[in-house]
Every structure is written in C-alpha cells, then in structure tokens.
Amino acid sequence: MVKIIDYKAGNAPSVLHAVQHLGCAAEFARTPEDLAGASHIILPGVGSAKATMDSLREMNLISVLEELVLQKNVFFLGVCVGMQILFDHSEEEDTQGLGWLPGRVHKFDSSKVRVPQMGWNQVNFTGSAPFATQNDYFYFVNSYHAVPENAGDLWATAEYNEPFTAAVHRENIFATQFHVEKSGEAGLALLQRFLNLKEAPC
C-alpha cells in the first residue's frame, strides 16, 4: 500500500490523486499507526521547511519514518519541501532537517533571479538510479535549493541562472525538487517507475 503523509502544510490530495490515477492503492497517513504496511511512502511538500518539520513532530512521525525508511528500507519519495528537509539544515527560518542526507539548503540569489522560481524547467538526470529516466520538463515552485555534501546523492540537475539540484537519490530514498504530481506525463511516468520498484501495489 502506498502511504501519503498528510500534514497541514502539504499537498497530499494532489499526490493521492496522481497515484490513484495510475491505478495504485493509496491512502493518507496522519499517525504513526497509519504507516503500518507501507510499501512506499510519499512526503509531499508545499510551504516552508520549518512548518513541515513542525508538523512531522506534532504528528509523532519522525521516529517511525526513520525506522521504516532508514532501517527497514521502505521506498521513500520526498517532493519539493519534502526533499529539502532530508538534509541537515535549511536557511529557511534556520531550520534543522531530518539529516538523512548530508548537505544544506540555500535560498536562490534574488539579485540574479526571480524568487521563487515558478514554472517548467528542463531536468537533466545524471546520477544512477534503479530505473531509467529521460530528461524532460518538470514543474517547479521553489525559493530554496539543496546542495548535497555527497556528489553521489545527486540524481538530477536543472538550470536557474546556474545549475541547482533538481533530484537526489540514495538507496531506497528518492526526492525531487519539482512537483511530480503537477508535471504532466513526465511526472506521472517518474512516479510510476518509483511505484514499480517493489511488487507493484497497482
């Protein structure tokens, strides 16, 4: 069963609709108990890193997520802010992240580019992953971008005046700065490949 974390700052309904559109069984997770039996976990992101971390703490989800993802290797997909909080620290409201991936999250330089970045941007997949992904255009809404400490965690880049991290991957952890659920056929194709990593829940 696909479990989609539903917190007050997230975008869970849109992600649920995308997963169900692909014919997969999915439901919201709002408590630690809701995550039982998860084959895949998706953490959507809309809003700030601090609000997301605060919500996860209030819902008592951090320890169970660490157990399922880091110890039991359940497949995980973070989206937008759901990617940024995987790192050690975000400049956004001086927020400590989950620390699953070493690195920091920085704000785009507003003297050089419009902040936030909003719209379609070409993504170039350069890192290794257990499924093939074609370069394509995906939809972004972000003021901040992650800078991984380990080059091996970088999965894809995009350009916004200069290259920035568009996606990361390590073992069973996947995350995209772009919104897969708002990226049309390209986003659905990537989401389908993620869901097919284990005996399909579809």
- C-alpha 55/C-alpha 174 separation (Å) is 21
Among 44, 46, 50, CA closest to 79: 44
Stretch (H or E) spanning 64: helix 62-65
Classified as helix, coil or strand, 112 is coil
Question: Is-catalytic flag, 202?
Answer: no
Q: Look at phi and psi of residue 189 and say left if phi exceeds 0, alpha if psi is from -120 to 50, else beta.
A: alpha
Catalytic residue among 80, 92, 145, 169: 80
Question: Is-catalytic flag, 179?
Answer: yes
- C-alpha 100/C-alpha 153 separation (Å) is 11
Q: Which two tokens stand for residue 69?
A: 């993802």
Question: Is-catalytic flag, 24?
Answer: no
Stretch (H or E) spanning 14: helix 12-21
Catalytic residue among 40, 145, 169, 179: 179
Which residues belong to the active site? 80, 179, 181
